[in-house]
Every structure is written in C-alpha cells, then in structure tokens.
A and B are shown apart, each in its own frame.
Chain A
Amino acid sequence: MMLRLSSISKHFGGLQVLQEVSLTVPERGIVGLIGPNGAGKTTVFNLITGLLIPSEGTIDFLGQRLNGMASYQITRFGVARTFQNVRIFREMSVMENVLVAMGYQSNYSAASVLLPSPHLRRAQRREQEIARELLFKVGLADQADLLAGKLSYGAQRRMEIARALATGPKLLLLDEPAAGMNTVEKQQLMDEILKLHESRLSLLIIEHDMRFIMNLCKQIVVLNFGRLIAQGTPDEVRANPEVVAAYLGREDEPEIATVFMPS
C-alpha cells in the first residue's frame, strides 16, 4: 500500500472530528473520499499533509511514518494537494505560482543565485520550461503571465493542480476539484485526471459531484460524522443501505440522492 491511515482519530478539545478511520490508497490507485458536509473529509487531508496532528493512530506513506513530520517534508516525500477554498498566491503571475512549487527541487543552491552564471541561467530557463509544460497540461499555457488573482475561479482550481504537480508528487490529494465548474469543464477535468493517473500518479479525491466521482474512482471511501461507514467499489457503495441513509437524510443535498437510485 502506498498510503495507509490506521485507526486515525482527531478531536479539538471535546469535539470529536474523526473516529478510528482507517483507509488505504494502493500504488497507482484512484480513490474517492465522499460524505455529507462536515463528515471530516478535509480533516483527513489536513492530517495526511501534516497541517494537523492526529490525536490517535498512524499515517504511513511508502514505508515512512508521517505522524509529527513537518508539512514541507511530507510534500518532499511525494504528497501534494489542492485546497477546498483555493489558496493561490494572488499577487504573483500564474507562472510564478508554479515556479514557487518547484523551488525545493532546484539544482542550484541558494548561494549560487548571487552570481550570474551560464549554469544558473540554464537551470532557471529549464525550470520555466517545465512550468510551462505543466500549465499546458491544465490548459493555462496562454495565461501564464497573468496575475493569478485575475484568473476565473475554475482556472484558479486548475492552476492549483499544476502547482501541486510541480512539487513532483507520487500521491495527489484533490479537495473538491470540480467545485464551481460547468459540465464541459468537468468533463475536461476528468480527462486530465485520468491522464495523470495513466502517468503513474496515485490520487485521493474529495468530491461532492457523485457522477464525477463514481465514474472516476475504482475505490470509494464514505465518511459520516467522522466515522468510516463504507468502503468498496462504486457499485458496492451505491448499494450500501447505510450510505444511502446518510445521504437521503440530508435535505441540503437532494441532487446527490438521485445518484443512489437504482438505474
């Protein structure tokens, strides 16, 4: 297994957010993480990326214990993510946003930037090329010099994916990547994600759009009120009465319920 969460619990003071959640992402897997609002999905991401420390349980990634490791080290081990509410560097260009994410892999030292040299120039030009390729992948190549804050919301989300890829991940965590996109954009995004998957990347995806997630993922994990209530293939999950109950009981997301209706 690439990523393994073993009985993870998290509480803030008296508030229990996650209880004994265990889940795995296999090598080259593509796993969906779903559940009603407030189920604790983003908390799982925050725990994996080291923004939060688990109250109990362990997180392992490629044989490495991630508990207590700094976020930047986790990124360097090969875990990258996007955010539910985009976190972009608004005052920088799209290109610079991606370059920031390549910073730690530079093959020139901090001291070497002091003197202009052919090596430095070459290395910097190479970085720019790689960044441009990544932006091309997510369809933002022609907007590379725009200030990131001026991008449309959908484009900001795609830029976040390019930026996450720039850190050189083995596992990519996507937090509601399709939020705010129309049907056409969603289809494009799905194609992009499948391409990433084919290029040997593993993915863990939080998404509210059930059609999107059911079509994309081979394995789905369902959370409700901080507990894992089901795990399996899309068909298994769809047939699980507890999952159906969790969603049907929520008037706030009626359109989701229709996905669970037998087709």
Chain B
Amino acid sequence: MEWLDNFWATYSTLLLSVGTNVLLALSIYLTLACGLLTVANAAFMAIGAYTAALLTLQTGTPFLLALILGALLPALVAMLIGRPTLRLSGVYLAMATLAFGEVVRILILNAEDLTGGALGLNGIAQLTTGFDVAFALIGALYVLLRFAGSRIGRAMAAIRQDEIATELMGLNVRAYKLFAFVLGAALAGLAGALNAHFTFFISPNEYGFERAVEILAMGVLGGTGSPWGAVLGGVVITLLPELLRGFGHYRPLINGVVLIVIIIYSPQGIWDLTRFIRRRHSGKPAVN
C-alpha cells in the first residue's frame, strides 16, 4: 500500500480539484438540463467558500457544519434572486446571471473588514480530505442520477425542449426551474466550501468571469443529456492542462485547440460520443 500513499501525496491536490470541479459541473448540469443558461455558479461557489472559510477561521465552527452552511447560504441567495431572474431566457438569462456574479465578486472585494478584500483569506485550515470530496461527489451523483431516471428528469428534459408544452402538461415549469437553480447553487456552494479547505487561500478573483466560463465549458463540453456528461466534462477540463504539462509554454494553446476540436466534432458534448458504445453494450437497437 506504500505506492498508494506516494500516489496520494503527489496527486492529492489534483484529485481533490477534479472532485470539486466535477461537483461544479454537476451544479451547472442541473440548470442546463432545464435549458437554462445560467452562469452564476462561480458566484455561488464564492459565497459557499467564503461562508465556510470564515466560519472555520473566525468562529471555530465544526467543519461539517461549515460545509452545510456553505451549501445552504448560496441556495438561499439563489431562491431570492431566482424568482425574478428565471423569467428571462436564453442569452438574457446568461447576461443577468453574469452581472449578478460580478456584483457578488465586487461586494466581496469591498467588504474588506470581513473578507480581506483583494488580499483574500489566508491560512484556511486544510480540513478537506479525499473522503469528504468522494462522499459529496458520490452523494450528488447518486441524487442526480435518480432524478434523471425519474419523472423529475423527464420534466426537466421536457422543459428544455418545449417550455410551453410542458406547462400545458400540468407541470409547474417555474417551480422546476427554481428547484434546479437552487439545488445547483447548493452544489456549487458545497464545491466552494470544500475547495477553500484544501487550497489554504481564497481571493475574490478566483470566482470571476473566467471561472464562470470554465464551469459552463465543463457542462457543455460534457453534454447535458446525463449527469455522466457533466462528470466527463469536469474531469477533462481539469485534467487536460495536467496531461499537457510536457508541452510547456504551449500548454494553454493546445488546451484551447483541444476544446475547439472536441466541440466541433461532438457539438452535443463528449457524452454524446459514447452513445454508440453504450448502445452496442446494452444490446438495444440504435434508435435513429
């Protein structure tokens, strides 16, 4: 078992990042699956990270409780802004959530007494273990897979395809959207809380536009047809730069090219590519 210890010592941070990124990908999968283009997830992640980190740093709250509150507070915020915001659709929704994200980042930046402003929070205890992340991940994935295979997943897919027809099937479309948005916010907040407790340091700029776009890329690249798509997207986006380490300076360049190539050759996401293999193994005839 010694190699395992060595392996963990070398790659623990990377593996923990993969885990929290997959959580983030799952958080945006929820809204994308309803056809909602929201990019507030980086902001929810920030709220979760700061909530949990401040709790453990300044009040000595137990880690578990800090994690729970780190997921609850973003969910609460999502519930408040969701009602007016989710009336928008398409690009307008994306822009509104983007603007909301900037407001959150700038507020954190300016609340210096509480958050340390641009300097960020330093010396956050490294409490997150591999088990915590694995537990959160498996739990989230289990819940979303159960949903996806049930009437809830069906309703979400229906909303994505035709909102008005879904409403006329007697389904409360606004409630479903709000549910997806709030649950997504909770997952993003949890990811932020976990992430803050292994990176030692957080600052507002980690949760800006670039992070929001990265989370969106994980969701879309993976594909919105199944939670497994989000898992794939999260893993690929996190590991790709690591795998390209050998390319040195050209790493980001190749990273960008790979992103473009994947999207051009599989615009429905990577999960869509695996459909062919899945069909063959499940023995069902391909429906086309």
Contact = CB atoms under 8 A, between A and B. Distances in A.
A146 interface: yes
Interface stretch (B45-53, B96-104, B117-125, B168-176): B168-176
Nearest to B169: A101
A100 B153 CA distance: 10
A88 B157 contact: no
Contact residues on B (Cβ < 8 Å of other chain), bracket: 20 to 34
Contacts, number: 86
A105 B171 CA distance: 10
B173 A72 contact: yes
Contacts of B143: 114
Interface in B181-231: none
B245 interface: no
Interface string A84-127: 00011111110010011111111000100110000000001000
A83 interface: yes
A145 B151 CA distance: 17
A103 B151 CA distance: 6
B146 interface: yes
B161 A146 contact: no
Nearest to A115: B146
A81 interface: yes
B169 A113 contact: no
B35 to A, nearest CB: 11
A72 B154 contact: no
Given A99-B151, A100-B171, 16 more contacts: A72-B170, A88-B162, A89-B166, A91-B161, A93-B287, A96-B154, A100-B166, A100-B169, A101-B169, A103-B154, A103-B155, A110-B152, A113-B151, A163-B169, A166-B169, A167-B170
8 shortest interchain CB distances as A-B pairs: A75-B170, A113-B150, A87-B165, A104-B170, A101-B169, A71-B167, A103-B151, A89-B161
